[in-house]
Every structure is written in structure tokens, then in C-alpha cells.
Amino acid sequence: MPTEVRIVEVGARDGLQNEKVEIGTADKIALIDRLSATGLRSIEATAFVSPKWVPQMADAAEVLAGITRRPGVAYPVLVPNLQGYERARAAGATEVAVFTAASEAFNLKNTNATVEQSLERFRPVLERAHEDGVRVRGYVSTVLGCPYQGVVALADVVRVSRTLHAMGCYEISLGDTIGVGTPAKARAMLAAVATEVPMPALAVHFHDTYGQALANVLACLEEGVAVVDAAVSGAGGCPYAKGASGNVASEDVVYMLHGLGIRTGIDLDALAATGRWLAALLGRETGSKAGKALAA
């Protein structure tokens, strides 16, 4: 198991993008600034995608301009194509992320493109980012199952991950988008990808639909992964997956990691307080078990 784990906090983007409650720009900025103060080193700030499809991210440029950037903290933003990349750069982005799926059916529904077409769409982004000295992270979704085609072949997960890494993505985040994975499957998937992409370049991203996310994270830690995506208060979900609940809660992951003696550099109490603050904005209780317990 690693001695230190980096949490990639995705609450401000993946957590909020599908929320029905409209979150104001000032509150998004406040969320990111609060997260920055907890010791997190990677905070995904927003997404430069079409406001028509993701209205919650329409203020991406304003959010990125408004946050207080702390030294040593990365603020990656999601971009779907070169146009999105150029908008992100104009707004001051210094790190970006691209996204595709291991499932053809999911990719067609989600982005109206085949997996191969989506990868080709990223080539100019990676080329431009390399010229600009901008780091690019790659997301591969539906690595353990798809709401449309069901089982996703491990070979497809490996192929897409290998391609993104070869194109220049410094890190590949492996996402169980609909939260159907179990520990043995999660471990086998990670091990398969690690035969083609070095383990230090891999991250895991689990949703908690069936209550398996923490167990899946633990199984992958035992396999050697040292980067975990999570969302404060367990925010998020997948609009294309029936019943898919939010991301694994950052507070719960940090509580588990600290209990294992693994360093994160994160102030758990401050993180849990931020999770409760966000939940109140969204008009509900925090989705984090640790967040609830620490408030008692």
C-alpha cells in the first residue's frame, strides 16, 4: 500500500455539474477556496463545456478568474475539445482534463461520438497543451460497467487508457461511472490497465451506487494505486445512469486513509465542515458518513 495518497477533489465540477439546484458563481468560488484551505493539492475547478448541455458550468471563466489560487495546489478544468481548451486557456487554466469512455454505447450517448472519434478529438488538445506546457489528465469512464451495453471488456479499458497515456496524458483516472463495481473486479481492472500504463500514472474514481466505493478504493490501494478521485459530501451522480448516486465522499476516503496510517496532508475536520456547508447549499444532509459523525 502507498504511504501517501493524493486526493483529486472533483466536487466543484463532477459533483455540481448535474445538480438541479443552481449554484451561484460566488458560492462555487467560495467552495473551491474552502477546499483549497483544507490541504488538498488537486481541485478540479470547473468544465469548459457547452452551457446548452451543462448549464451549471456556464460560468466556468468567471469561476476560474475568481478563485484564490494557493501555491502547490492544481486547479484542473475539464475540456471536451480544442475549442474548450482555448476557452480554458483564455480564462487562465494551467491544467486541463479530457474525458472519454471505455464503452462505445456510453460514448455515443454521452458525446455523440465513438471512442475512436473522441480520442481523435483530443489529439490537437494534447498537441497544443504540450506546446503550452499545460498538463493534461485523462478520464476513462464506464471501466466496470455501462448502463447501455452492460459489461465492458477489460481489453477496451486497457486500450483506451494506453492510448490516452501514449498521447501525453500524465495521469489516467479510471471511473466506475455507474458504481456497479465490486472490490475483486476493481482490483482486476486496475491490474490489467497497470500492465500497459505505469501504476504511478493511474488514479481511481468510484461512485457509491451500491455502497461499494470505499471497499473498491481499498482494494485498489492494496494493488498500489496512490491517487483517488473523490467529491466532498459525496456530491454528484451520472445523468445517464439510472439510480447512480454520487461520488465516494472525500471525507470518508480521508478518514479511511488516515486510519490506515496513509498520509494525505488534508485537515479532515475542515474538509467535513466544507462538506456540510455544501450540503446546506444544496438543501440536504451531507452524503458523507464521516462528515455526519464529526458533526455529532
36 and 9 in contact (C-beta within 8 Å)?
no
Written as one string, the DSSP assignment of 119-162 is HHHHHHHHHHHHHHT-EEEEEEE-SS-BTTTBS--HHHHHHHHH
Report the C-alpha gap between 189 and 202 in whole angstroms: 12
User: What is the DSSP secondary structure assignment for residue 70, as one 8-state letter?
Assistant: P
Within 10 Å of residue 196's Cβ, how many Cβ atoms?
A: 15
Report the C-alpha gap between 188 and 204 in whole angstroms: 13
Closest CA to 85 of 119, 53, 124: 124
For 8, the enclosing helix (H) or strand (E) is strand 6-9
* Active centre residues (catalytic): 238
Assigned C-alpha cell, 77: 478544468
Closest CA to 78 of 186, 229, 193: 229
One-letter amino acid for residue 191 of the chain = A
User: What is the DSSP secondary structure assignment for residue 207, as one 8-state letter?
Assistant: B
**Ramachandran angles phi, psi of 246, nearest 5°:** -70, 180
Q: Which residues contact 163 (CB under 8 A, 6 or more apart)?
A: 119
DSSP reduced 3-state for 206:
strand
121 and 81 in contact (C-beta within 8 Å)?
yes
Written as one string, the DSSP assignment of 253-275 is HHHHHHHTT-B----HHHHHHHH
